[in-house]
Chain A
Amino acid sequence: MAELIFYFFAALTAGGALGVVLNRNTVAAALCLLLSLMGLAGLFVLLDAYLLAALLLLVYAGAVAALFLFVVMLLDMQGGAKRTPGWLNLGASAIGFAVLLAGVAATLARAHLPEPVVTAAPSFGFSLKYYAAQLFTTYLLPVQIIGFLLLIAMLGVIVISKKPREEQTPPASP
């Protein structure tokens, strides 16, 4: 039963990812990304990372995918520029895909990974309390840095997306 659930979510994730890459329509690609993220959240639940599954759905599916959809609609480029990729692109991406996959597969085949420990989730871990304790003791400095990073990114986004100010001396019209 657990295998079936794993394969279902794995197929959802990989199929969504393929949909992102192969879809012509940008909106459909963003929705495929959403599908892939939901499959990944299911896999996180199978791995006993419940908090991360919830956060993935909130942050990625809720914010990132919605932001992508907003930008697609803002730029409004549906319909235009539907060209087929050139042979060079196709060949390069196929070779890159194959080489990356073969490399990881070879590593996995040679690696002596430990047999799956079929224990239950450790009682100490994977709970909200554990995360809180870790974040406020061991990882306190990274949390602070992330906070500053979020602030800086917010300022940067505001500055970047501001409309460029009109030139003081407008160029003479030809």
Chain B
Amino acid sequence: MTIGLHHYLALSALLFAIGFGGVLLRKNTLVLFMSLELMLIASTLGLVAFSRFNGTPDGNVFVLFILAIAAVEVAVGLAIIVALFRRRGTVMVDELNALKH
């Protein structure tokens, strides 16, 4: 039994679901952000698999752009988290409830 497109797509879906569950489960903003990254790389795995099995390399070029966007996103997001920690003294989501009241 050869490894086909199904296997890669199933793994991609599993990664995305794990990341999604992590976003819902965790309270720490940093771990939440790592779960977002997991969802992003799950999508890149799907793109690369489709590109390989269709024989069109355009998906790989898209992944190149996704990597650049991810680097930008991580830099800005971590800067925001650090600024948040300086101002509020915590990074736990359930203590950042200023909009709740």
Contact = CB atoms under 8 A, between A and B. Distances in A.
B55 to A, nearest CB: 5
Contacts of B58: 134
Interface string B62-101: 0111011111101110111111011100111000000000
B64 A55 contact: yes
B24 A89 contact: yes
Given A21-B21, A33-B34, A2 B2 contact: yes
B24 A92 contact: yes
Contact of B26 (A21, A119, A134, A139): A21
Contacts of B48: 44, 47, 49, 52
Interface size class of B (residues with CB under 8 A): 35 or more
Contact of B5 (A48, A52, A74, A116): A116
A48 to B, nearest CB: 6
B79 A6 contact: no
Contacts of A48: 52
Contacts, number: 227
Chain B contact surface mostly: helix
Contacts of A43: 8, 11, 45
B41 A37 contact: yes
Contact of A119 (B3, B19, B55, B92): B55
Interface in B1-29: 1-11, 13-22, 24-28
Contacts of B31: 20-21, 23, 26, 29
B26 A142 contact: no
A149 B11 CA distance: 31
Interface string A91-120: 011101100110011001000011111110
Contacts of A64: 37, 70-71, 74
A153 B18 contact: no
- Which 7 pairs from chain A and chain B are nearest by CB? A21-B22, A125-B57, A104-B13, A97-B21, A93-B25, A93-B24, A116-B4
Interface of A: 2-3, 6, 10, 13-14, 17-18, 20-21, 23, 26, 29-30, 33, 36-37, 40, 43-44, 46-49, 51-52, 55-56, 59-60, 63-64, 67-68, 71-72, 74-75, 77, 81, 83, 85, 89-90, 92-94, 96-97, 100-101, 104-105, 108, 113-119, 121-122, 124-126, 130-131, 134-135, 139, 142, 146, 149-150, 153-154, 156-157, 160-161, 163-164
14 contacts: A10-B11, A44-B45, A64-B37, A71-B81, A75-B82, A81-B28, A85-B26, A93-B21, A100-B16, A104-B13, A104-B17, A105-B13, A122-B57, A164-B86
